[in-house]
Structures are given as C-alpha cells and as structure tokens.
Amino acid sequence: MAVGIFDSGLGGLTVLEAVENRLPDLPFVYLADSAHAPYGVRTSDDIFDLTCTAVSRLFDAGCDLVILACNTASAAALRRMQESWVPKDKRVLGVFVPLIEAMTERQWGDNSPPREVDVKHVALFATPATVASRAFQRELAFRAIGVDVEAQACGGVVDAIEDGDMILAEALVRSHVDALQRKMPAPDAAILGCTHYPLMQQHFQSALGDDVRVFSQASLVADSLADYLQRHPDMVGTGEAAFLTTGDPRRVSDRATQFLRRQITFQSA
C-alpha cells in the first residue's frame, strides 16, 4: 500500500522529493497527467473530472492515501471530491492545508475564531484556475484576520517548465513579479501556489528581494504528511514504488530526470 502523489505534470516532483527525504522508507506511486497538462487554464468541472480519473487510477494501484500535489486540483476539486466522491476507506489530501498552517501558526483542527497573524501583505503566485477559485483566500479567512492577499495569475510558467525552457520560465517569473508589485509594492510574504514554482524559487526570491519571506510548499507538505501518518498508522503500508504518466513515458522520463537530477523512468498509466 504505497502513498499516491498526483500532479497534472511534473511540478509534484518537488513534493515527491521532499517527502522521500522526510520518509525514506515509504513507497510512493507518482502519477503525472501529462496528456492533459496544464490544468491551470481549465474549467473547474474539467479539473474535477480529470482529477477524479487520476486519483481512481492511484486507488487501483493500491494507494489508500493520495496527495494532490497540484494546487489547481486542490483549489478547484478537492473540497468537492471530499464531500461527494472519495470512498470512506480512502483519503485524499491537498497541499493548501500545510501552507495555511505555516502562515497562521495554528493547526488545521483549531476551530477558534480568526486572529491576527504576523504577515499582513501576502503575494500569491498561482495558476489562473487557482487564482480564480479564491480557495487560498477563503481558507485563510477562516483562520486569520487583517491579511491583504494580492493574487497574480502566472500564465505560461508551467508550460515553460514542462517544456524544459527555463530561460523563458525565468523571464515569465520576473514579468509576473513586476505585475504583482505594481498592485502590491511591498509584500511581507509570497506564496508559490503551484508545485512547479519551487523549481524557480531562486528567481522569485531574487525578483521579490531578500526582505520578502517566500513560502514554498514541498517541505511543508512533507512534514504534514509525516505528522498525518504518525496519527493514522493504518495508512502506512508496503508496496512497489512507481512513476506513471498519461503522456509519452520517454519524454516525461527525460524531463523528470532533468528536474530531479537522477534517473526517473515513467511507465504508461
């Protein structure tokens, strides 16, 4: 019983790498829906249908616990999935929760009234679909007051990363940071609200300046998963690790090997 990790493409590999480092003995099955990437420009219904199909494939692979290592899927599909679709003996978790916990310094199960937090001006960089969902602002408002969030839809960045064009990706990052700073000149913190974006974290940080705290999700998700499995040991099991893709396995393997700087071999999903 491996743990499933799902992303629309290769961005979730940043989460996979962090959780492998945190939980080296736990097997993972990674599924990239490369044939339908990017999700960030799709409708919420389309994202929901594609995410359910992918998660079903991971359930079939023996994964009782699946992490949506995709902010777009977490924002546009997760709540609906948990309310009406996920079987009672399965669990599907998203990547927003650890981020909100880190920003507000309170556990997800803490249902006390919203309170003031240290950060007041937050820049959110995400895909168009994540920005349109306003899921981050909604979840943050349940737990914090007095936080101004300015969102910037970062069109083109995921496509450039998936194509391996890091020069274009860097140029797009700087353009999107410039656009954000015209709306919010001095953010206290910045959220990289897409699991592809940690691959460009140094460029976000450089464009924003050293005074801006940049929250990247991979390590936060890894720590949260370790805590979850400690509290739910029935979700820990054994199984065979695997990398699956709905796209061209050879092309996806080449890109993944480039990203993680180690040999990664994908199979057809």
pLDDT tens digits, 57-100: 999 999 999 999 999 999 999 999 999 999 999 999 999 888 88
Inform me whether the pLDDT recorded for 238 exceeds 70: no
Q: How far is CA 167 from CA 4, 160, 170, in A?
A: 31, 8, 5
pLDDT score recorded for residue 98 = 87
Q: Which of 21-25, 46-50, 54-58 has the lowest mean pLDDT?
A: 21-25
Contact yes or no for 114/87 (Cβ under 8 A): no
Annotated catalytic residues are 70, 194
- pTM of the entire structure? 0.89
Q: By C-alpha distance, which of 35, 41, 26, 71 is closest to 54?
A: 35
| SS3 call for 99 | helix
Q: Name the residue among 214, 244, 49, 56 with its Cα closest to residue 122.
A: 214
Higher pLDDT, 110 or 99: 99
55 CB contacts (<8 Å, ≥6 apart)?
4, 6, 66, 68, 81, 92
* Residue, of 105 and 179, whose pLDDT is higher: 179
**Mean of pLDDT over the chain:** 92
d(CA 231, CA 10): 29
Q: For residue 135, what are its two tokens?
A: 């899921």
Q: Give the residue carrying structure tokens 């009406």.
A: 84
